[in-house]
Structure 1
Amino acid sequence: MRPTLGEWRRLALLVVAVVALVAVAGAATTGTDDGQPSGESVLNDTRDRYAAADTVVVTANVTVDNGSANRTSTVEFAAAGNRSRTVVAGQNVTYRTGVNETVAWYVGPNRSVAVERGAAGRVAGVEPVGNASSTLDPTNRSADEANLSATYLRRGSDDGTDAHVVEVRPDDPSATTTATVWVAVDDSRLLRVETEDGTNTTVIDYRETRFNASVHDSTFDPPGDRLSVASVERYDAFGAAQTNTSLDLPRLDAEFRNATVLTRAAGTNVAQRYRDDGDDVTVVSTTADREFDRSGENATRVTVDGHEANVTTVRDAAVVYWEDDGVTTAVVVEGSEDRAVSLARRLDG
């Protein structure tokens, strides 16, 4: 049973996103009358333990069993502030993904890509990795959003480690997914999670968890043998961005927020970000081979400043793009295609 790319990514997310189970503060809980803690209090302590750490480094084994076949992978995860890296290895296939202050990157067997964080990366077909801190600290999720109940089952042992065992179950009576969580008594770290959804049983064994460990900055950089990112610079003024790139940048008559100039062997990519009438707008100029609309089937031809352009919708954003003299220009906005065309026609330069 060979996993698909999407399944590998889900395995990686399981290891870190399962910490969101602790965001049940204030939800329905079942405690005990013999002095044992409630399921809620155990998970709250775990949430606080992970949220308070400057860095978290985790190694886990993830096994998925559907009753007729199973697969196991090893997941290594490191997070420090808004930077993270995840490595998923199994069945002779390895996937790596990460994010630092400026670049989100992904390396797989057949595809590798690095993009600047923000709307331009999303439209290019790469979903930027989320903030590592928010992944590990789910306190921004309310109990109402969680809709979970935590029940303290027993105090037991996980490979000899004294543990609290808590069951987490959705309040929705039609839901089929349940999770059993083992939490170390001495330091509130996750030891084991078992989830069942009626089809698959997924077991996460946390082999090692280190809090506040020293993590070198290079951990969060793209691997140089697969991705070449020569430089990434961010500017708070249009003039500074224009001065520091050889591209002739168009300018939008709107509130300039910032610009990112990413230089790679494959070309230069500049993403300017504006605010106009309540909308976030990104203007991309690139000499790299960017796929703003992979299929091309849904694009509509329009004219922008004498250029034959395409307008399409990619996920939740409308995109207008055209090429001139080796430079592709694109205008991206989370709005209608008409709105994107109108913005593109307002570009100066």
Structure 2
Amino acid sequence: MDRAPGPSVRLRLTLSYAGFLMVAGTLLLAAVWVFLLRYVPERAVLIVPDDGGAPGDVFPVRSNLLGVFAPRAAAVFAFLLVFGLVGGWFLAGRMLAPLTRITDATRRATHGSLSHRIQLPGRDDEFRELADAFDAMLARLEAHVAEQRRFAANASHELRTPLAITKSLLDVARTDPDHDTGELIDRLHTVNARAIDLTEALLLISRADQRAFTREDVDLSLLAEEATETLLPLAEKHGVTIETGGDITPTSGSQALLLQLTMNLVHNAIIHNLPEQGTVWVTTGVHPGTVTLTVENTGEQLTPELASTLTEPFRRGTERVHTDHAGVGLGLAIVRTITEAHDGTLTLTPRPAGGIRVTVELPTSPSVSS
């Protein structure tokens, strides 16, 4: 935005300091003048000593008071003006020094340098709070940009893989006319389906991240029941038992996205479980101002450090698995994005006995809280 040039903040503060000092000086001199007018007599008074000696001083009268007071008052005004301008310029510079550092950091961030921090020294005040808030914003922005770059690199790699496999299969079919066409079609179908799933997952993340959805009242307990019923055949295939329970949990958001969130959590809990006789617990709860969806499962021992990385895109637990139901490595990344788009929090906690507990906490529906 183009703006007309104007005086600097430092100059305006300097003039403000000097102007305030001049007003204070004027009031002080006015008070002195009123005092003199009140106590100075109208006629001259000859002061005679008590011992009868020579006459002493003659007290000044009002007639010549102005001539004596005005030059001295003018000198005081000149001193106050110079002192106010010089002192105000110095004080304004000292007060605005933190803003200079913040402006410099802003310019660096504008040119792509997100690693710079203001780190303003001194005790806590408004400028320090502003600088600390700006540093925190830069840290979050730097982490977000780094995450987006990793996501773009990983997505490019994941999308390149099915294309490379497809090219290899077609090259084999071209060089070997006697190759089994049915097997080739089946493999191409599998690779193509995986590429479509990955693309749809990326689009879902983009849609949730942009919050391009209409909010409506949603009951998480009903979504949990729907997800468990849909994935029950998969659980039976893996020998996993699903246990559900909890309260009615009204929240606000996109029913389709929240169902996708629940499906992803239950699906991951089934796939990443014990080889046999595993268990998945799906519970919902209501708390003051929030509702929760908790999905936990049995499985391998996980460290807190590993658990904290599972929401990163294309992370699949302790290793990169590629079974029929392994997904595309975006399950928990989608869960995190949908949760954040609904102003919620996602918590991953390793279970002492093995497996993990995933808790999604969302705000209560406004229609219920009101």
Shorter-chain TM-score above 0.5:
no
Higher relative contact order (CA closer than 8 Å, sequence separation 6+): 1
The TM-score normalised by the length of structure 1 is 0.20
User: Larger helix proportion, structure 1 or 2?
Assistant: 2
Rg (Cα) greater in structure: 2
State TM-score, norm by structure 2. Answer: 0.19
